[in-house]
Structure 1
Amino acid sequence: LTCLCSDCKQANSTCETDGACMVSVFNLDGVKHHVRTCIPEAKLIPAGKPFYCLSSEDLRNTHCCYSDFCNKIDLMVPSGHLKDNEPPSSWGPVELVAVIAGPVFLVFVVVIIVVFVFHHHQRVYHNRQRLDMEDPSCEMCLSKDKTLQDLVYDLSTSGSGSGLPLFVQRTVARTIVLQEIIGKGRFGEVWRGRWRGGDVAVKIFSSREERSWFREAEIYQTVMLRHENILGFIAADNKDNGTWTQLWLVSDYHEHGSLFDYLNRYTVTIEGMIKLALSAASGLAHLHMEIVGTQGKPGIAHRDLKSKNILVKKNGTCAIADLGLAVRHDSVTDTIDIAPNQRVGTKRYMAPEVLDETINMKHFDSFKCADIYALGLVYWEIARRD
């Protein structure tokens, strides 16, 4: 049996077989293609309806015959395809992929956003639940009608003098609304915040200053430290804003700012100078003083006393702040607690023995003397503003 063969160029486009001749037509990118070939008898299975002779609706039209050159005929293109004179479709593979993938991608993005929001709310909810479980007496500690003035009063009359319970500190810190930035330093930023109708100062440490934050919070919560001429500590907390961790230190807000800024803005009368000097000395004396007893207070040296670390209150008195470099003295063992901190004090206010590193680090009085030297320089600044 001799048949036409579209792929047999070397045999005059013919082939011989013991089976059947086949002709098939299909459309590819708007162009009609005919295929003619020989099918061996061994491939004509199953008998009566071989697979090679079956047409595929809308894709391929196939015909098998059993006489010489019987596959010379031209078949019709399947109805679902373009004819020879029809223009090709404007929908190419790229367009089809875009049409299909676009909606799928949008649905995927929406699902991701929904899952993220859901998990965020779940985390916030569980954090609140965890905080509520930490102290079942939270409503007793911090009732809804308690104002900032009430909180400060509770701190001032606290039996231990070591500050608020940890849970209350967290509750206060996480309900403060930041208003405006009022200062910047090497540690981070200082903001004015609002809590239940009152202003508070929020010192936000950068994450690399975690040691300074921890040390300052630790010193502020020393038993019996509270004093009218030492900055009133309210709360400390670490807050995760989703991108990085913020370290908060919440304290009393004094609108006059630091003594350095106050002296640059205003001239001071003789009475005002005495008031500033006396209150600064009173705060430093309380810091240095050791209170012996079951609820006693160790002696504390500031180590970074300067006009920028002293705040001016509304009544014209001073409040010593920034205890991040402070050291504590244990009189029982005669040891000094110096935190492992990379920060150093301000050279302009350093005593000579600190500058030339001859200070006796094992004697607490050495640190107290260095503080007195720095206080003398602060007095000089005050005296210049008459």
Structure 2
Amino acid sequence: MRHENILGFIAADIRGSGSWTQNFLITEYHEHGSLRDYLRTNILDQRAMLQLAFTASNGLAHLHTEICGMQGKPAIAHGDIKSSNILIKKNGTCALGDMAMATRFLSDTNEINTASHAQRVGTKRYMAPEHLDGSMNRDSFEAYKMTDIYSFGLVLWEIARRCFARGIVEDAELAYFDCVSSEPSFDEMRRVVATERRRPDIPNRWSGDDCLRTMAKLMSECWNPNPAARLTALREKKRQ
């Protein structure tokens, strides 16, 4: 799991007495905080936008890829991709964090190993349509990876809004800010995403900029309603 675009784990500890227990995870510290907070206070040029998008997709591609050998790792689906779970390093690159909802695929036994706790459903705003309408095939690890890709498309939209081009930049907003409440319910998201098949609006100005137009095409392929038609994380990384 050691990778430049994955939040580095340092140590874990458990402290407690007979009546209470505290669990600690110690990770690398990134002073810029989350991508969500970073976008609220920073306007991006094209280079900064592409660096954020590429390094985040680089981390996701590493997670999704099985690496065989003594220093290998299983394929992992993150399960909760969103801008608040991506941290910004000092050099302006991304590190994916918070693997609490992750799902592992053990190829030797063809076993899908999901988070043990009940709340492994991710964040409602970023849930894929097949997750919302119950059509997701939970016996297929590929299905878990494709929900990550959908969510990542929404993150790309949040990033691209903050890119200054042609004298304009959009405000920092979360996906679907204009059609659901600030804390949307499951039913709200199901109606908007799965039933009405709505997606975040692409601003008109993006069509006049080569870089933003390419980003718009990329995110649209990520949030395709058909999971099989979405890009893989590796293809997404290579397209940027």
User: Normalised by the size of structure 1, how large is the TM-score?
Assistant: 0.41
Alignment check: 8 A CA contact 1:284 1:320 kept: yes
1:295 aligns with 2:71: yes
Q: 2:215 maps to what in 1?
A: none
Which protein shows a greater Rg?
1
What are the residue-to-residue correspondences of 1:107-256 with 2, within 5 Å? 225-240=1-16, 244-256=20-32
Q: Deviations over 1:46-91 (max 9, x none)?
A: xxxxxxxxxxxxxxxxxxxxxxxxxxxxxxxxxxxxxxxxxxxxxx
Does 1:359 find its partner at 2:143?
no
Tell me the equivalent position of 2:33.
257
Partner of 1:318: 94
Partner SS for 1:287: helix
Other-structure match for 1:380: 157
Contact 2:100 2:115 in 1 (8 A): no
Change (3 A) 1:328 1:380: same
Structure 1 CA distance, aligned partners of 2:17 and 2:40?
Answer: 36
User: Which region of structure 1 is more displaced relative to structure 2, 276-285 or 361-370?
Assistant: 361-370
Q: 1:292 deviation in Å?
A: 1.4
Check whether the contact 1:256–1:313 (CA below 8 A) recurs between aligned residues. Answer: yes
Structure 2 CA distance for aligned equivalents of residues 288 and 352 of structure 1: 20
**Alignment map for 1:319-358 (pairs within 5 Å):** 319-343=95-119, 344-358=121-135
- Offset of residue 243 of structure 1: 6.4
Three-state SS of the structure 1 residue aligned to 2:76 is strand
**Would you say 1:267 and 2:43 are equivalent positions?**
yes
CA distance in 1, matches of 2:128, 2:77: 14
- Alpha-carbon contact 2:4-2:95 (below 8 Å) kept: yes
Residue 27 of structure 2 aligns to a residue whose secondary structure is strand
Instruction: Give the AA of the match of 1:360.
Output: N
| Preserved CA contact (<8 Å) 2:5 2:95 | yes
State the shift of 1:241 in Å: 7.0
Helix, strand or coil at the partner of 2:49: helix
1:276-287 superposed matches below 5 A: 276-287=52-63
How far does residue 342 in structure 1 lie from its aligned partner after superposition? 1.7
**Corresponding residue SS for 2:36:** helix
1:62-101 to structure 2, matched below 5 A, reads: none
Q: Which residue matches 1:166?
A: none
Change (3 A) 1:241 1:261: farther
Higher strand share: 1
Q: Which amino acid aligns with 1:337?
A: N
- Structure 1 residue matching 2:143: 3-state secondary structure: helix
The one-letter amino acid paired with 1:382 is I
Give the counterpart letter for 1:319 in structure 2.
A
Aligned residues: CA RMSD: 1.3
Query: Secondary structure of the residue that 1:361 maps to in structure 2?
Result: coil
Per-residue deviation, 1:339: 2.5
Higher relative contact order (CA 8 A, sep 6+): 2
How far apart in 2 are the matches of 1:311 and 1:357?
30
Q: Give the CA deviation at 1:295.
A: 3.2
Give the Å deviation of 1:282: 0.3
Runs of 4+ in 1 over 4 A off after TM superposition: none
Task: Give 1:333 shift.
Answer: 1.8
Deviates more, 1:360-369 or 1:238-247: 238-247
- The change in CA–CA distance for 1:265 and 1:247 in structure 2 (over 3 A counts) is same
CA contact (8 A) 1:329 1:336 kept: yes
Alpha-carbon contact 1:335-1:362 (below 8 Å) kept: no
Q: Which amino acid aligns with 1:354?
A: H
Distance 1:356 1:271 in 2: 38
CA drift of 1:242 comes to 8.4
The residue type paired with residue 376 of structure 1 is: G
- Percent identity, aligned pairs only, is 58
Normalising by the residue count of structure 2, what TM-score does the alignment of the two structures yield? 0.65
User: CA contact under 8 A between 1:229 and 1:280: conserved in structure 2?
Assistant: yes
